[in-house]
Structure 1
Amino acid sequence: MKNLLSVLKITVPDKIFLKDPETSDLGKRIIENSILLIDEIGFDNFTFKKLGTKIGSNESSIYRYFVSKHKLLLYLSSWYWAWLEYQLVIETFSIADIKLKLEKAIEVVTKTVEIDSNFSHINEVILFKIIINESSKSFLTKEVDTENKEGYFEIYKRLITRLEEMILATKPDYEFALSLASTVLEGSLHQHFLNEHFPSITNCKNGKTPTNFFIQLIENSLK
């Protein structure tokens, strides 16, 4: 089971892209280098023209895969959430104790990401930094409701639902399971952001991690 990720394909909603970048060498180079370039210059300064220069390809070739850089960010975010979902399933499937299962799930979705050699064209560590710093730009838009109806955020929502189910397995009568699950997922990103940029307003530093905080929060909430 630990080798599951090596044989499974990370699936992203197909409405996000025009052509699946996983199906060609150019597509994989687009994904690989877009991660590196966004990390280097930020999403606001990122353009397909700059990406084309970086990969030695025409800007128009990138538009054959994504209609806009917004869709590319949606792709990167969806890929990350799908990858994290696989991690969650693999790490928790054999745990019978429901409390230990939930604790392990919280650890998986809140910990600092390490590199995964199963996907050589994607640096998960750098992608994690982008998710922390830029992923909110994928849904803080005027088009969010339309994109939600079209299924762009289905993986993100499914991951939250998985956490909700584990919370309810621990305490079936807890009435804020979805709110708690979404708070853990988004809150962990915020705590990582604060640790990096505003360490004076978070306790998640000096050996204390977002995982420590959210495990304690879950335990206190479900007493």
Structure 2
Amino acid sequence: MKHLLQTLKIGINENIYVKDPESSDLGKRIIENGIVMIHEMGFESFTFKKLGDRIGSNESSIYRYFENKHKLLLYLTSWYWGWLEYQLVFATNGISDPGTKLETGIAIITKSIEEDSSFSHINEVLLNKIVINEYSKSYLTKEVDKENKEGYFAIYKRLVHRIRDMIREVDGTYSYPSSLASTVIEGALHQNFLSEHFASMTDCNETVETTQYFTNLVFNSLNKT
């Protein structure tokens, strides 16, 4: 899988960016340093002016790639979900047993993230932390319906549908496969947030992994006979 990922280009909706950041060294530096800075200072405090100072470039040059920082966040989170989707597809491809396939899928979605050397300019560990802390800010906006119609969240929705289909393979009689799938993906982010900031509100910790909780939740919800 590692060798295949080295040639992988994750397709992001072209309306999210003005110029593809993967097409130039400057664009890749915008992505690389944008991830680091959003992780360091939070999305609210992050600005293109600060990013320009960090990379030694004019603020205007960043606007040639993204029209605003909201679009940059959409790009980063879309990239993350696309990267996770490819891992899910590779890890479950060829697994014939529906239960094993679903269990593997849950593990991919909920596991701790390790840095992937296939993408030298993207720190997946920091990007995961950004998704945990900032992803909701990409869609809790007045423009969400318009952006959804334009396909900005297509990769995320596709990932939910993949988990949904795995749930259906295990139990075709279960009435809420989409809700359960989105609960796993969104819930994994929330449980990780709670474990870091509100530890008394979750059972996920150093000894109980998020994967254990969601595997238990999903399979206890399904009729596996």
| TM value normalised by structure 1 | 0.99
Moved segments of 4+, more than 3 Å: none
Does 1:49 find its partner at 2:53? no
1: CA distance, partners of 2:75 / 2:198: 28
1: CA distance, partners of 2:32 / 2:8: 19
* Deviation (angstroms), 1:2: 4.7
Among the aligned pairs, what percent are the same residue?
A: 63
Show the 5 A alignment for 1:82-161.
Answer: 82-161=82-161
Cα offsets for 1:91-132 (capped at 9, x unmatched):
110211110000000000001100000000000000000000
Aligned residues: 223
2:2–2:118 Cα contact (<8 Å) kept: no
1:213 aligns with 213
| TM value normalised by structure 2 | 0.98
2: CA distance, partners of 1:202 / 1:159: 25
2: CA distance, partners of 1:72 / 1:108: 25
* Deviation (angstroms), 1:206: 3.0
* Deviation (angstroms), 1:65: 0.3
Structure 2 residue runs without a partner (length 5+): none
Q: CA RMSD in A?
A: 0.7
* Deviation (angstroms), 1:7: 1.5
Q: Which amino acid aligns with 1:209?
A: E
2: CA distance, partners of 1:206 / 1:52: 38
1:191 aligns with 191
Structure 1 residue runs without a partner (length 5+): none
1: CA distance, partners of 2:3 / 2:171: 32
Q: Which amino acid aligns with 1:14?
A: E
